């Protein structure tokens, strides 16, 4: 359970930070962090949770 929570928090946080970098025009750093966020999402085993987190990152 802890690994799931860690992956969820990591993915959401990296997605939010990537958005901040994108808003400040730092596209390479934003792309890097977005890639890390999506990799973290892919480590989530539960498809429902994976889908929810992916959608949350995209919505932002």
Contact criterion met (CB below 8 Å) for 15 and 60: yes
Contact criterion met (CB below 8 Å) for 1 and 41: no
Tracing tokens 């930070």 back to the chain, one arrives at 17
**pLDDT, tens only, 3-54:** 767 888 999 999 999 999 999 999 999 999 999 999 999 988 889 999 999 9
pLDDT of residue 51: 93
The domain locations on the chain are 2-59
**Where are the alpha helices (H) located in the chain, listed in sequence order?**
2-23, 27-42, 47-59
């Amino acid at each position: 359970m802890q690994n799931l929570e860690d992956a969820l928090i990591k993915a959401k946080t990296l997605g939010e930070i990537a958005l901040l970098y994108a808003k400040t025009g730092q596209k390479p750093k934003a792309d890097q962090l977005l890639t890390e966020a999506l990799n973290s999402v892919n480590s989530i085993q539960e498809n429902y949770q994976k889908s929810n987190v992916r959608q949350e990152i995209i919505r932002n």
